[in-house]
Amino acid sequence: MKLRNSGRLAALVLVSLCVAGSAPAPLSVAQDRPKTSQGFVLEAGEHRLQDILNSAAEFLNRNYIMPTAELANAANTIEIQRKLNLDAIGCEEVVSQLAYVKGFTIVPLDPLRGLYEVVSQRGQRVAEIGINPLHLSPDEVLRKSRMKVQVLTSVPLKHLDAAKASQQLRPFFTSGGGRNGLQFGNAGNQRSLLLQGYASQVAGAIRLLREVDKPEREAFPKTYYTQLRALVASTNQQANSLQAVKQRLADLEAQFAALAPSKTKK
């Protein structure tokens, strides 16, 4: 096996804060602290999925609880044609994709402490895949759309009705059926739509909702009616003026005709 982690543990520099009453540093999620600064290296060649997961767990400073017996199946090997050198985000994305291709999903049990479970999509614990989704904002889902993990988010709507939107979107995102389909819902709020599914599916639904969540356009805007009425009034006025001119011309022609015989007699 040619899988390895390049580089060593980066030196940690501790800076003492001498200012009294300074706020403590916020907790950081374990996957944001890779153990090396050189990247996660996946060499070209054939690898066992279990070895990839073990190396990723070490690199991301995580603990992966894995179904060893299921992963030991000879079918769970992956061949890489070109070497990959990934950062922490890339490692998380690619490893989740490789696991998904082989029928496994990485489920976050306690992300703050770096505890995850690798669950078979055909095993006895398959229900766990949807029970522990990552709770993310819509923008966070879009940033993590390449990850093959379950996420849950609430999408605010400005103009669409949540119930109607879910009915119209459901046929496009539930074709996979079961746990592979996107789930829709709301908590009694017609201006907020709940979405749960794999990050790529949820991200696609978010993009579509943002594209169509716009004010309905009037077939014939009210301003057009105002302009049309003004045009009709102007046309009628011009028509009336023209009719008056024609009537005046007719009167003058009649007067001229009445004067013509008297001139002949003289």
Assign residue 167 the CATH number of its domain: 3.30.1370.120
Residue 81, pLDDT score: 95
CA pair distance 32, 113, nearest whole angstrom: 11
Q: Which domain holds residue 175?
A: 133-220
Distances (CA, A) of 127 to 25, 109, 130, 133, 200: 36, 13, 6, 11, 20
Do 37 and 116 share a domain, yes or no?
yes
Task: Say if residue 1 is in the same domain as residue 111.
Answer: yes
According to the model, what pLDDT value does residue 37 have?
53
pLDDT at site 261: 61
Per-residue model confidence (pLDDT) at position 142: 95
* Domain assignment present for 263: no
**16 within a domain of the structure (yes/no):** no
pLDDT of residue 224: 61
Residue where a domain stops, chosen among 100, 129, 158: 129
Residues 34 and 151 in one domain: no
Q: Are residues 80 and 50 in the same domain?
A: yes
Per-residue model confidence (pLDDT) at position 233: 75
Asked if residue 45 and residue 110 are part of one domain, the reply reads yes
Per-residue pLDDT in tens (0 to 9) along the chain, 266 residues: 444 443 333 332 222 333 333 344 433 344 445 555 569 999 999 999 999 999 999 999 999 999 988 898 878 999 999 999 999 999 999 999 999 999 999 999 999 999 999 999 988 888 889 898 999 999 999 999 999 999 999 999 988 888 888 888 888 776 655 556 788 887 777 888 999 999 999 999 999 898 888 887 655 566 666 776 777 777 777 777 777 777 777 777 777 777 766 555 54
* pLDDT on residue 2: 45
225 occurs within a structural domain? no
Among 77, 95, 129, identify where a domain stops: 129
Largest Cα–Cα distance of the chain, in whole Å? 133
| CATH number (domain holding residue 42) | 3.55.50.30
> Is residue 181 one of the residues assigned to a domain?
yes
Residue after which a domain boundary falls, among 84, 104, 129: 129
Domain-located, residue 248: no
